[in-house]
Amino acid sequence: MEESFPMTGGDGPNSYAKNSKRQKGAADKAKSVLVEAIIEKLEVEDTPSIASTFRIADLGCSTGPNTFFSVNTIIEAVTHKYKTKGHTSLPDFQVHFNDHVSNDFNMLFNSLPPGRQYFVSGVPGSFHSRLFPKASLHFVYSAYALQWLSRVPQELSDINSPAYNRGRIFYSNAPNEVGKAYTAQYVMDMERFLAARAKEIVPGGLMALLIPGRPEGTLPAESSIGPFFQPLESCLVDMENEGIINKAKIDLFNLPMYSPSPEELRQLIQKNGSFSIARLESNTSAGSKQLCGAGECRSGLENIIAGHFGSNIVDELFERYAKKIAECPPLDTGDTSGIGLCIILKRNL
């Protein structure tokens, strides 16, 4: 069974809409690569006759506003591409916003930019499965959503398994068996993702993926995003020690996220065989990294935490989290910290 982990909806102080500046910053860094790929690699007819509709999908769009900035960038670059090919008229642009069924689509649609130059539809469902008709999409975009797995690896909740992740909520600093279980789940999920997109994207179409990754040659346990979850894990353990949370609940709670290495992605893309890699770049930021603020962490994890532990602990948990990170220095993760992967794939003809 696939699980659903929507971001916190609405526009309140703990909402994703108010706490996603980090994701926007990462997308902004990849903007030039995205534009260059569209101008250089997108297949556009040389003749004046053009497709009546150019269809774009943002997979894992959440509630905005980041998705609207990215969509505008894509449409501006595609428009430039058509004009350089001598087209005097442009296609209609249709943008499909996709996320889990439980995503706050009302918030998304209420905050649509006025005067937008595209038609809109909402497509609820998991991007690990088919979402669109065959050969119906010209451009697929997904920013900082593909780190989410379709579910927690089952071995992690089996007390008799060597991958039973007792006392931890993630695979960083965990035994190798835990990392291997996460890797296996990620491989299954990405194989399904690529197979679905191979059917949905037109020949010559593009797909741009922004993914938090880890440096080449590192083990899953050395995940670059692992340190960001350690304060949350520490707060949960504190609450367990004080009898607020049952120990078994913590032992069975694991975050369904994974950070791949560039080589892992290359191998999966090559195995699928439907795409060529137009660009695969990593952005490595050296030096100190700020931990996620309480609002930022809560906006992404509140729903999964409330679903497992109950909503009654959420306020206290994040009050403790805010105090704990205030006492922590910035993460000093050296030259290999915070790797972000930008992958541009072209659907083979």
Q: How many CB atoms lie within 10 A of CB 169?
A: 23
Tens-place pLDDT, residues 191-232: 999 999 999 999 999 999 999 999 888 888 777 678 889 999
DSSP 229-241: GHHHHHHHHHHHH
CA dist 107 and 237 (Å) reads: 34
Q: How is the chain split into domains, by residue range?
A: 21-347
Q: How far is CA 215 from the centre of its chain?
A: 18
How many residues comprise the chain? 349
Structure-token match 């900035």, residue found: 69
Is-contact 331 291, C-beta < 8 A? yes
Among the ranges given (136-150, 250-264, 270-284, 320-334), the one the predictor scored with the smallest mean pLDDT: 320-334
* Entry pTM: 0.94
Q: Does domain 21-347 have CATH number 3.40.50.150?
A: yes
Tens-place pLDDT, residues 18-66: 999 989 998 999 999 999 999 999 988 754 444 589 999 999 999 999 9
pLDDT of residue 51: 56
- Which alpha helices (DSSP H) does the chain contain, by range? 21-29, 31-41, 66-84, 105-110, 176-200, 230-241, 247-251, 262-272, 294-309, 314-326
